[in-house]
Structure 1
Amino acid sequence: MASFSIAANRIYSRPFLKEEAKRSKLKPAPAAGLDRMYVAASVASTPPSLRLAGQSRVKPQKDVRIAVLGASGYTGSEIVRLLANHPNFGITVMTADRKAGQSIGTVFPHLSTQDLPNMVAIADADFSEVDAVFCCLPHGTTQDIIKGLPKSLKIVDLSADFRLRDISEYEEWYGQPHRAPELQEEAVYGLTEVLREDIRNARLVANPGCYPTSIQIPLVPLVKENIIKPLNIIIDAKSGVSGAGRGAKEANLYTEIAEGIHSYGITRHRHVPEIEQGLSDAAKSKITVSFTPHLMPMSRGMQSTIYVEMSPGVTIDDLYRQLKVSYEDEEFVKLLPAGVVPHTRHVRGSNYCLMNVFPDRIPGRAIIISVIDNLVKGASGQALQNLNLMMGFPEITGLHYLPLFP
């Protein structure tokens, strides 16, 4: 649903926020300066053919100037796609060292309709006309780059470089020493629905990994309320191949991935300490999990099937009620009706997390299923949620893309 007003021969529309519904049935017009159509949809932007007759094509002025570092990767391109419908954020700088000098449309033809600056090498980027940065670079390269950015910039880092508070744990799992420990002390972990107020006041946010997002969203409320035991948590997670990045790797070739399931990182996947850090914070005691990820022959999508042991006297209905209470006012986290199974195809291209809880055949145990799009809620969509908060905008701004189906 959207609110509309007509002024100066222009039509304005924007998302109808839940809090507005509670206040009034009459919707105010959006702020001046939004001179394009903005609708909740699965398309990137309003094509010229749909603009009002006689309206000159004027590029709207955006309040916040954005740099996307690593725009030629999957998460970088997804940021560009999502920002196409953002009324306040406009891209002024894009970097891609190996693609420097090229337009985003030459690298990603699906983005060729966007009027954006050419990509440049990071060393040549001018940050004087930038207010905030999405850093979509590989882990291990991000620390030095962020350390060299102006301190005035708000930064959301989509790599793993600032997710682990303990820098010795980072060295253990990523095989290299942390090169910006002073920034690690400043970084705030960006699981939006759980740490919203911390994120709002942060300068540097470490965006969560895709697997940890799909796992922590359902588990944190249950762990925090002690209605599941902090022992014997088993997580069987599956991801589309885009989760492995865009770099050329033999293991990710079509013939290696198609018509099968590829287990990897068994007992040593780098997301394990991130998952355990978040769950241990919720429990206020150390939690260790058993986690096995798998690549599936699909482009995007992620499912985490989680097996837990309920606390004495707790029932499946108690778990369901706790999840319902925890997320009933959240825009992007949805608990499905009892008995309905979440599927990855129902979140594709969107920022939603769908989940549900089921009784196991083993008495006292429960099965939780959580699904997200690994590139949106698992990466770029959550990053946009976080930057919205950091810049003082409603966190759902620019994220009303409905899932693509079929």
Structure 2
Amino acid sequence: MTLRVAVSGASGYAGGEVLRLLSSHPEVEIGSITAHSNAGQKLGGLQPHLHALADRVLEPTEVEVLRGHDVVFLALPHGASADIAAELSDDTLVIDAGADHRLESTPMWEKFYGSPHAGTWPYGLPELPGRREKLVGARRIAVPGCYPTGSLLGLAPGFDAGVLEAEDVVIVAASGTSGAGKSLKPHLIGSEAMGNMSPYGVGGVHRHTPEIIQGLSWAAGEEVSLSFTPTLAPMPRGILTTATAKFKRGVSVPEIRAAWDKAYRDEQFVHLLPEGQWPSTKSVLGSNHVVMQLAVDESSGRVVVVVAVDNLTKGTAGGAIQSMNVALGYPEGTGLTAQGVAP
């Protein structure tokens, strides 16, 4: 059966990426395409790379427009998804690419987002231990944030295998400017961003911090303490994450590497590179693939994992479609077989 799929927020980066990938999905018919302030405009004027959909006119992001579809993707700012999702049928698969339904903790949501908590949906990161089975048959899915995608995939195998300490985890990640969305912001204009790197959300205040803690704590079976620092890199898309954690006493270097090898040897999209080869963001550009490498710093007693992910593909839209495939029983890679682009 062909799925009729609606995409909201289609004029933004995340919505546009969802449409790009859905256009290659053999089981999908693209139904309503919606936006807010850009409603009434043709998609081609806002997403000129989507040639097959260029003449489609954006409809308003309203419940009546989204009803009647088999699947609805909500690529909206945080706080905008919950009310719409609540009005859609329980038979409709609703996939929220925003933050509204990612966190289990109401206090953490209120602290970092400053609004009422909308509840928790199954978490759309199939490779994270214990998550894939929760997606099967789901009708509501919360897509992870882009920073958590790389951070969780980087360290979860070590916590799941019991080789890492839960205290003193440190993650520093550099993201391309598309991670901030399409709205005009002075620090993202070319003259500010080109040839420049800068930190932001420093000191544990970035909104993805509780989400990373939540996912690592799931894997560890106990609360993980985290210092997370995001930085802005002068590139349009991609995230390079450097994640470090202490390894437990008595654990050998071969045991450490074996934990990551075991976790990802059968995964289609997550790859532990051969020893000596290090990740680069360009190698995963436009793809749903994640590449990583690890090193054991015995002098400091820490494992260092470096992860490259495309923030718009695996970090948002690709992860959303992969989760849709799991939920509906399609092969997980359907519509997501593209390799990276080089040079």
TM-score (norm 1): 0.81
- Considering only CA atoms, is the larger Rg found in Structure 1 or Structure 2? 1
For 2:8 and 2:64, locate their aligned partners in 1 and report how far apart those are by CA, in whole Å: 9
Q: Which amino acid is the alignment partner of residue 334 of structure 1?
A: H
1:229 maps to: 165
Moved runs in structure 1, 4+ residues, more than 4 A?
none
Give a deviation string over 1:223-257, Cα, whole Å, max 9, x none.
Answer: 12210111111111110000010011112111221
Q: Deviation digits for residues 86-105 of structure 1, max 9, x if unmatched? A: 10011101111211122211
Instruction: Read off the aligned partner of 1:206 and give its amino acid letter.
Output: A
Aligned counterpart in structure 2 of residue 241 of structure 1, from 172, 177, 187: 177
- What are the equivalent positions in structure 2 for 1:267-278 lying under 5 Å apart? 267=203, 268-278=205-215
Deviation at 1:286, TM superposition (A): 1.0
Give the equivalent residue in structure 2 for 1:59.
none
Question: Residues 238-285 of structure 1, C-alpha deviation per residue, up to 9 Å, x if partnerless?
Answer: 100000100111121112211111100002000010000111112121
Q: Contact 1:94–1:119 at 8 Å: present in 2 too?
A: yes
Tell me if the contact between 1:240 and 1:299 (Cα under 8 Å) persists in the aligned partners: yes
The equivalent residue for 1:395 is 332
In structure 1, what is the Cα distance between the partners aligned to 2:138 and 2:318? Answer: 18
Helix, strand or coil for the counterpart of 1:78? Answer: helix
Alignment partner of 1:99 out of 10, 35, 38: 38
Query: Aligned residue for 1:77?
Result: 16
Please list the CA deviations of residues 43-69 of structure 1 after superposition, one character each: whole Å capped at 9, or x if unmatched. xxxxxxxxxxxxxxxxxxx71000101
Q: Please give the alpha-carbon distance, in whole angstroms, between the structure 1 residues aligned to 2:43 and 2:187.
A: 27
Aligned residue number for residue 324 of structure 1: 261
Which residue is equivalent to 2:93? 154
Counterpart amino acid of residue 385 in structure 1 = Q
Q: Deviations over 1:290-316 (max 9, x none)?
A: 110001000001011012211112233
Q: Which of 130, 135, 146 is matched with 2:74 structurally?
A: 135
Where do 1:110-125 residues align within 5 Å?
A: 110-114=49-53, 117-123=56-62, 125=64
Cα offsets for 1:322-353 (capped at 9, x unmatched)? 11111111100000001211111110110001
Is 343-352 or 358-367 further displaced after alignment? 358-367
Q: Out of 5, 16, 27, which is 1:88 matched to?
A: 27
- Give the % identical residues: 39
Equivalent position of 1:6 in the other structure: none
Say which SS state the counterpart of residue 210 (structure 2) adopts: helix
Question: Larger deviation: 68-77 or 196-205?
Answer: 196-205
**Distance (Å, rounded) in 2 between the aligned partners of 1:70 and 1:288:** 34
**Offset, 1:220:** 1.2
Q: Is the 8 A contact 1:310 1:365 kept in 2?
A: yes
State the 1:122 CA deviation: 1.6
- Give, in angstroms, the shift of residue 123 of structure 1: 2.7
The answer for the alignment partner of 2:125 in structure 1 is: 191
Partner amino acid, structure 1, of 2:125:
L
Opposite residue 294 of structure 2, the aligned amino acid is: V
Distance 1:93 1:192 in 2: 27
Match for residue 366 of structure 1? 303
Gaps of at least 5 residues in structure 1 are 1-61
| Partner Cα separation in structure 2 for residue 124 and residue 201 of structure 1 | 23
1:304 maps to 2:241:
yes
Structure 2: which 5+ residue stretches go unaligned? none
Residue 316 of structure 1 contacts residue 357 of structure 1 at CA under 8 Å; is this kept in 2?
no
**Superposition RMSD in Å:** 1.5
Task: State the alpha-carbon separation in 2 of the partners of residues 175 and 364 from structure 1.
Answer: 38
SS for the counterpart of 2:37 is helix
Matched position secondary structure for 1:359: strand
Look up the match of 2:143. Answer: 207
Q: Give the residue type in structure 2 aligned to 1:262.
A: S
Distance 1:124 1:102, change over 3 A: farther
Query: Which AA in structure 2 matches 1:365?
Result: R
Looking at structure 2, the residues matched to 161 and 128 of structure 1 have their Cα atoms a distance apart, in angstroms, of 20
Report what 1:379 is aligned to. 316
Given residue 182 of structure 2, which amino acid in structure 1 is its aligned partner?
A: R
Contact 1:189–1:205 (CA<8 Å) still a contact in 2?
Answer: yes
TM-score (norm 2): 0.95
**Deviations 1:129-184 (CA, angstroms, capped at 9, x unpaired):** 41111110000111111112222210110001100111221111101222x3xxx2
Instruction: Give the superposition deviation at 1:116.
Output: 6.6
3-state DSSP of counterpart to 2:240: strand
The aligned residue for residue 22 of structure 1 is none
Please give the alpha-carbon distance, in whole angstroms, between the structure 1 residues aligned to 2:292 and 2:322.
20
Whether 2:201 is the aligned partner of 1:265: answer yes
For residue 98 of structure 1, give the secondary structure of its aligned residue in structure 2: coil
Secondary structure, counterpart of 2:49 in structure 1: helix
Structure number with higher relative contact order (C-alpha < 8 Å, ≥ 6 residues apart): 2
